[in-house]
Amino acid sequence: MADLFTHGLDPTGGTPRPLADRLRPKSLSEVTGQAHLTGPDGALTRMIRSGSLGSMIFWGPPGTGKTTVARLLAGETELAFEQISAIFSGVADLKKVFETARARRMSGRQTLLFVDEIHRFNRAQQDSFLPVMEDGTVVLIGATTENPSFELNAALLSRARVLSFRSHDADSLSQLLTRAEEAEGRPLPVTAEARAIMLRMADGDGRAILTLAEEVWRAASPSEEVDAETLQRIVQRRAPVYDKGQDGHYNLISALHKSVRGSDPDAALYYLARMFDAGEDPLYIGRRLVRMAAEDVGLADPQALVVANAAKDAYDYLGSPEGELALAEACVYIATAPKSNGVYVAFKAAMRAAKEHGSLLPPKHILNAPTKLMKEEGYGSGYEYDHDAPDAFSGQTYLPDALSGTRFYDPPERGFEREIRKRLDFWASKRRERQVR
């Protein structure tokens, strides 16, 4: 029977094998958390049943089984498995792999080439895969944690099917812990609260939850039950999966913006906290809050832009962590403010008109006439000074003749724009009176 020193050893060298390696699934049916791909009716299961395996891009967060599934596919289809990493490989490595695959194909066997971190290859390197994919030398499976639409070139994407791997949810992470306990032949010595915290710390990463379990088993004393506080000391908190320059960054700022636009301050605060927690630059968040105030609140509450800009300046003045509260305050203010994109829509329409209609001359009566020639041409002729008119409103036309009567701004009946609409309606009635006269 295995003892403390032999349990989990690599039989070839006596080196302890990580728990995650020992628990690798041996068939697609054992893969956890990707039922949409590996379940009885999953996309990959269907491919294997059809007997046709094409090139694919596996897109998903770390620890979701991309490498494992690629290995299993090679076994299921009896393809030779070759693996390289874009981090450590260059053109010479690719040529060597391609030559090996061509030689193998001459003997009647195809190669499944798994490329980890494929987005790390530059565009020219990505193009080098195209000929060997097209002539059937290799079936390419590229793995990436980044959005393929942004990181892979169109030619490669047109020849490969993108399959999305999902982060593990609490249920699938719990299944992995149960498998680990069965493999170890002992329960994980943690309280229910500590176990729940471990699931959150794993952040959807299957490899991470098994590593955390291994650390607990390694650190816990005999008969000890690890509580939440002890767990924090045993395993240092794992940073959230978030790259400020990549997909996680854009996903969270999108979630924050849409939560603010949707008037949900609780969701907005959550995503704001997620970004702070992941080390996002608070001034970047401040600038985005200013944009949200201008785009989604607009003149429904003109104070929103003032609050957002003040919060950005407050953070710039106070720094972290004191200044983060000002940004949270602005986030809540904007989320709970009445919403209007009236000015945003009007400005876009005006920009389209400016591009489509070219250099239209403004009406001559609103042009200055600093020279005699310009006066003779009618510049400034007939202009009425609004402050001299009743209600300080002359009712003249100001748009070029080709755009006369065009209305770009149509304020909704919300917030302060109710008052703006009343003003516009009042001025419209005064214009009608002028036309009647």
Please give the pLDDT value at position 5: 35
Question: Does residue 121 share a domain with residue 210?
Answer: no
Whole-number pLDDT of residue 2: 40
Of 117, 140, 164, which closes a domain? 164
Do 153 and 180 fall within a single domain? no
- Over residues 243-266, the pLDDT tens digits come to 555 666 778 899 999 999 999 999
Asked if the structure places residue 176 within a domain, the reply is: yes
Residue 240 resides in a domain: no
Please give the angle made by the CA atoms of 198, 201 and 204, to the nearest 5 degrees: 105
CATH for 129: 3.40.50.300
Say if residues 125 and 151 touch (Cβ distance below 8 Å): no
pLDDT at res. 6: 41
pLDDT at 33: 92
Instruction: Based on the fold, state whether residues 116 and 175 are members of the same structural domain.
Output: no
Helices then strands (H, E): number in the chain? Answer: 21, 5
Distance between CA atoms of 221 and 230, rounded to whole angstroms? 12
Q: Which DSSP letter does residue 361 get?
A: P
| Shared-domain flag, residues 359 and 425 | yes
Residue 116 CA to residue 131 CA, distance in Å, equals 19
Question: Per residue in 373-384, pLDDT tens?
Answer: 888 888 889 898
Q: Is 116 exposed, middle or buried (0-12, 13-18, 19+ CB in 10 A)?
A: buried
Round to whole Å and give the CA distance between 304 and 298.
8
Tokens for 410?
């149509």
Residue 134 in domain: yes
- Domain end (from 314, 336, 358): 336
d(CA 121, CA 100): 20
Residue 141: per-residue pLDDT: 96
The segments of the chain whose pLDDT lies below 50 read 1-7, 239
**Could you count the other beta carbons within 10 Å of the beta carbon of residue 31?**
23
Same structural domain for residues 38 and 160? yes
Domain count, the chain: 4
Residue 19 lies in a domain: no
| pLDDT of 433 | 82
Enter the tokens of residue 310. 């003040």
Q: Are residues 40 and 150 in the same domain?
A: yes
Domain that includes residue 215, residue range = 170-234
Amino acid at 426: F
Are residue 280 and residue 218 in the same domain, yes or no? Answer: no
Q: What is the SS3 assignment for 226?
A: strand
Q: What is the CATH number of the domain that holds 416?
A: 1.10.3710.10
In Å, how far are 190, 192, 213, 303, 367 from 181, measured between CA atoms? 12, 15, 9, 57, 83
